[in-house]
Structure 1
Amino acid sequence: MATPRPFSRYEFTIAWRYLRARRAEGGVSVMTWISLIGIALGVMALIATLAVRAGFRAEFVDTILGANAHTTVYMAPQRITNEFTDDLYVVPGRIADYDAMAAKLAQVPGVIRTAPVVRGQVMATANDSSNVAEVFGISLNDLKEMPRIVDAATSVGSLEDFDRGIAIGSGIARELAVGLGDKIRLIAPEGARTAIGTTPRVKAYEVTYIFSAGRYDIDRTRIYMPMAEAQSYFNREGVADEIEVFVVDPEKVDDWTLPLLAAAGEGAQVWNWRDSSGSFLAALDMEDDVMFVILSVLVLIASMNITSGLIMLVKNKGRDIGILRTMGLTEGAVLRVFFLCGAFTGVIGTIAGVFLGVLLALNVDSIMAALNALTGGGAWQPEVRGIYRLPAELRAWDIFRAVALSLFLSFVVTIFPARRAARMNPVEALRYE
Structure 2
Amino acid sequence: MASTPPFSRYEFMIAWRYLRARRAEGGVSVMTWISLIGITLGVMALIATLAVRSGFREEFVDTILGANADTSLYYAPTYVINDLTDETYSVPGTISDYDALASKVAALPGVERATAIVRGQAMVSNGDRMNAAEIYGVTYDDIKKISRITDPETSQGSLENFEHGIAIGVGIARELGVSLGDKIQLISPNGAKTPVGVTPRISTYEVTYIFSAGRYDIDRTRIYMPLAEAQSYFNREGVADEIEVYVKDPEKVDDWTQPLLKIGGENAQVWTWKDSSGSFLKALDMEDNVMFIILSILVLIASMNITSGLIMLVKNKGRDIGILRTMGLTEGAILRVFFLCGAFTGVIGTIAGVALGVLFALNVDHIMAFVNFLSGGGAWDPSVRGIYELPAKLRGIDIAKAVGLSLALSFIVTIFPARRAARMNPVEALRYE
1:144-155 alignment, distance < 5 Å: 144-155=144-155
CA contact (8 A) 1:104 1:264 kept: no
- Does the 8 Å contact 1:354/1:403 carry over to 2? yes
Contact 1:27–1:316 (8 Å) recurs in 2: no
Query: 2-side partners of 1:8 and 1:344: how far apart?
Result: 15
Aligned to 1:253: 253
| 1:26–1:317 contact (8 Å) kept in structure 2 | no
Separation of aligned partners in 2, 1:349 and 1:394 = 20
Q: Work out whether 1:89 is the aligned partner of 2:89.
A: yes
The offset of 1:44, in angstroms, is 0.2
Identify the residue that residue 141 of structure 2 maps to in structure 1. Answer: 141
The one-letter amino acid paired with 1:59 is: E
Q: Which moved more, 1:22-31 or 1:364-373?
A: 22-31
- Trace 1:123-202 onto structure 2 (pairs within 5 A): 123-202=123-202
Q: Distance between the aligned counterparts of 2:47 and 2:154, measured in 1?
A: 30
Deviation by residue 1:135-168 (Cα, 9 ceiling, x = unmatched): 0000011101111000000000000000000000
2:412 counterpart residue number: 412
Deviations 1:174-215 (A, max 9, x none): 000000000000000110111111100001000000000010
Question: In the alignment, is the contact (CA less than 8 A) between 1:19 and 1:27 conserved in 2?
Answer: no
1:173 deviates by 0.2
Q: Deviations over 1:78-118 (max 9, x none)?
A: 01112233222111100111000000111111110011000
Within 1, Cα distance between the matches of 2:16 and 2:74?
70
Tell whether 2:288 aligns with 1:281.
Answer: no
- In structure 2, C-alpha distance between the alignment counterparts of 1:312 and 1:189, rounded to whole Å: 79
Decide whether the 8 Å contact of 1:185 with 1:205 is kept in 2. Answer: yes
Residue range with higher mean Cα deviation, 79-88 or 300-309: 79-88
Greater alpha carbon shift after TM alignment, 264-273 vs 222-231: 264-273
Q: Does 1:353 align with 2:353?
A: yes
**Alpha-carbon deviation of 1:26?**
7.4
SS of 1:90's equivalent in the other structure is strand
Alignment of 1:19-418 (within 5 A): 19-24=19-24, 28-418=28-418
Q: Please state how far the C-alpha of 1:296 moved relative to its aligned partner.
A: 0.2
How many aligned positions are there? 433
Which segment is superposed worse, 25-34 or 233-242?
25-34
* 3-state SS, counterpart of residue 124 of structure 1: strand
The amino acid across from 2:366 in the alignment is S
CA contact (8 A) 1:154 1:212 kept: yes
CA distance in 2 between partners of 1:429 and 1:350 (Å): 34
For 1:239 and 1:149, locate their aligned partners in 2 and report how far apart those are by CA, in whole Å. 24
Describe the SS at the equivalent of 2:191.
strand
Q: Which runs of 4+ in 1 moved over 3 A?
A: none
Is 1:137–1:230's contact at 8 Å kept on the other side of the alignment?
yes
Cα offset, 1:406, TM superposition:
0.3
The residue identity in structure 2 corresponding to 1:33 is W
SS in 1 for 2:200: strand
Quote the Cα distance in structure 2 between the aligned partners of 1:329 and 1:289: 45
| Aligned-pair CA distance for 1:370 | 2.1
Between the aligned partners of 1:159 and 1:8, the Cα distance in structure 2 is 71
SS in 2 for 1:21: coil
1:37–1:349 CA contact under 8 A, matched in 2: yes
* Bigger mean CA offset, 120-129 vs 407-416: 120-129
Counterpart residue type for residue 403 of structure 1? V
* TM value normalised by structure 1: 0.99
For 2:207 and 2:284, locate their aligned partners in 1 and report how far apart those are by CA, in whole Å: 37
Output the amino acid matched with 2:217: D
Q: CA RMSD in A?
A: 0.9
Aligned-pair identity in percent equals: 76
Instruction: Determine the C-alpha separation between the residues in 1 that align with 2:251 and 2:396.
Output: 20
Q: Give the Cα–Cα distance (whole angstroms) in 2 for the partners of residues 377 and 194 of structure 1.
A: 52
Q: Is this contact kept in 2: 1:184–1:206, CA < 8 A? A: yes
Choose 18-27 or 48-57, whichever is displaced more.
Answer: 18-27
Q: Cα deviation per residue 1:269-321 (whole Å; 9 max; x = unaligned)?
A: 00011001011000000000000000000000000000000000000000000
For structure 2, the residue ranges without an aligned partner over 5 or more in a row are none
Unaligned runs of 5+ in 1: none
Distance in 2 between residues matched to 1:372 and 1:218, nearest whole Å: 24
The separation in 1 between residues aligned to 2:69 and 2:366, in whole angstroms, is 32
Letter in 2 for 1:80: V
Q: Tell me if the contact between 1:171 and 1:216 (Cα under 8 Å) persists in the aligned partners.
A: yes
Deviation at 1:266, TM superposition (A): 1.7
